[in-house]
Structure 1
């Protein structure tokens, strides 16, 4: 399936040396991929799809953590 290939390609992309706008775009792309895979998962209940969504979510969290920066006290 095309969606799964896109997700695997996104997962294998390097995220170093990205500008802020690149990070925002990557975060949005990850969110769209996760939501689309979730729609397929709701029908099929395939465990491999759930694992893929979990891996994409972890990558998305890392990107967003870098966007928000460290909190100052």
Structure 2
């Protein structure tokens, strides 16, 4: 389960003072980890894997908000 170790290291990594390029790279890495863990989850249905995917998704969404900006209210 090397992918889980990578996911835990990614979770612990600091996301402050990142350049736009670093954010793009981090977002892609998060997506890669989530999809890899999802493939394992499909076979095992282990709830701990689902929890890891949820935490990574939250972190990825935060990175994406910083990249794309918050959506306008439409006014």
**TM-score > 0.5, shorter chain as reference:** yes
Structure 1 residues 19 and 39 mapped into 2: Cα distance closer, same or farther (>3 Å)? same
Q: How does 1:1-73 map to 2 (within 5 A)?
A: 1-71=1-71
Aligned length: 73
Backbone CA RMSD of aligned residues? 1.0
What is the TM-score normalised by the length of structure 2? 0.93
Runs of 4+ aligned residues of structure 1 deviating over 2 Å after TM superposition are 70-73
Matches of 2:60 and 2:46 in 1, distance apart?
A: 21
What is the TM-score normalised by the length of structure 1? 0.95
Consecutive unaligned residues in structure 2, runs of 5 or more: none
**1:48-67: CA deviations, max 9, x gaps?**
00000000000000000000
